[in-house]
Chains A and B, each alone.
Chain A
Amino acid sequence: MKWSRAIVAVALGLPVVALLARSMGNDPKIIRSPLIGRPAPAFALATLESDVLRTEAGDTVRLEDHLGEVVVLNFWATWCYPCRQEHPALVSVARAYRDRGVRFYGVLYKDDPAAARRWLDELGESYPTVLDPSSRVAIDYGVGAIPETYFIGRDGRVAHKHFGPISVEELKHQIDALLAEPAPAHPAAEVAAGSGSGAE
């Protein structure tokens, strides 16, 4: 009688404990992006004009022009303190990988372009930043709380989303993983066909 009671108690209690243990280990602010492994949402956005930005990006940045390259998208704003914190890491890694087919783009999120220009002037050299005045691109990427950084593989798929300020180590880790993957022969065709090894 006592044993059967104990077994019933364990049978009822164990799932509850397992469920709690599973959820307590997770940060509720970090939600797995449904974009991972899927083609990155396309965009064509105007570049922020600034003296310190490398102007090779031209007036408009189109994601489709970068198929075959690794693209790092960083959503930021001047009112976001952690963005200021992580900026040097992004700039240094962008510089280190410049000649290895890795493109860095900042996307200005809910901010005044003039304020962004002042901020960048103050912090010095940077990779290009594009403007997203209606936040449509941010919504396409499922941006919630910035800073958020997206890694897009050479196959044009979103490989990883990083929440919060990012470090040099994490940037290198993600980029190296994407560079280690064999470059798709026809990235555009592959994305269109929807087949292809979804980058993790």
Chain B
Amino acid sequence: MSDAARTRRRAIARLVPAVALAASALALPGPTAGATGLVTTRAQEPPGAGIAAADTALEARVRELASGLRCPVCQGLSIEDSPTELAVEMKNIIREQLAAGRFPEEVRQYFVERYGEWVLLQPRASGFNLVVYVLPWVALLAGGAVIVVGVRRWTRQGAGAESASGGETG
């Protein structure tokens, strides 16, 4: 009996690093921007914009915000990655609003009020959207539980068969 328990413990001990490895390999980054892989041309800089050193910080903030907003006339591109006129104009609006001292969240809200939450490439982690963030972890835990239970059952059966094989057939 203690043999069976030892076998089981050994099997589980062997399994634990494997599960951990699988989990880290999956890495579950959460919903990432749908723009990757579709990047084509950079949006043109606004005409006549001789960007001074002081403006580079602003431009970096504009780019960061623009890469999180969906271009309404493209397929899965952010405003930052789209060369269309509308995206360039939306970037101009971002630049104006940031330069006027608005917070990035306020600028994001400005576009959400017009295009809906659809315009955000990364859904907000609130309400129903939480499912997207939580479900992968729930699935991983459930899968892990299934494996642990399954391995326990196999090892118990294996140990049972070993000890049983001495006496009966079956």
Where the two chains meet, the residues of A that have a C-beta atom closer than 8 Å to any C-beta of B are 31-35, 41, 110, 134-136, 138-145
Q: Which B residues touch A32, using CB under 8 A?
A: 116
Q: Which A residues touch B113, using CB under 8 A?
A: 34
Q: Which B residues touch A35, using CB under 8 A?
A: 114
Contact A145:B90 (CB < 8 A) given known A34-B115, A135-B85:
no
Q: Is B58 an interface residue (CB 8 A)?
A: no
Q: Which B residues touch A34, using CB under 8 A?
A: 112-116
Q: Is B93 an interface residue (CB 8 A)?
A: yes
B89 touches A145 (CB 8 A): no
A135 touches B89 (CB 8 A): yes
Interface residues of chain A: helix, strand, loop or mixed (majority): loop
A110 touches B85 (CB 8 A): yes
Could you say which of A35, A144, A145 has the most chain B C-beta atoms within 10 Å of its C-beta? A144
Could you say which of B90, B93, B115 has the most chain A C-beta atoms within 10 Å of its C-beta? B115
**CA of A34 to CA of B116 in the docked complex: distance in angstroms?**
5
**CA of A143 to CA of B85 in the docked complex: distance in angstroms?**
13
The 8 Å CB contact of A139, one of B90, B112, B116, B118, is B90
Q: Which A residues touch B125, using CB under 8 A?
A: none
B89 touches A134 (CB 8 A): yes
Interface residues of chain B: helix, strand, loop or mixed (majority): helix
**CA of A41 to CA of B85 in the docked complex: distance in angstroms?**
21
Q: Which A residues touch B112, using CB under 8 A?
A: 34
Residue of A nearest to B72 (CB): A144
8 Å CB contacts to A: which residues of B108-133? Answer: 112-116, 118
A144 touches B89 (CB 8 A): no
Q: Give the shortest distance, in Å, between B17 (CB) and chain A (any CB).
A: 28
Q: Which A residues touch B90, using CB under 8 A?
A: 139
**CA of A34 to CA of B93 in the docked complex: distance in angstroms?**
19
B114 touches A140 (CB 8 A): yes
Q: List 29 A-B contacts (CB under 8 A).
A: A31-B116, A31-B118, A32-B116, A33-B116, A34-B113, A34-B114, A34-B115, A34-B116, A35-B114, A41-B114, A110-B86, A134-B89, A135-B85, A135-B86, A135-B89, A139-B89, A139-B90, A139-B93, A139-B114, A140-B114, A141-B114, A142-B114, A142-B115, A142-B116, A143-B72, A144-B73, A144-B115, A145-B72, A145-B73
Render B76-98 as a binary contact track against A, CB cut-off 8 A, 1 for contact: 00000000011001100100000
Residue of A nearest to B118 (CB): A31
Q: Which B residues touch A110, using CB under 8 A?
A: 85-86
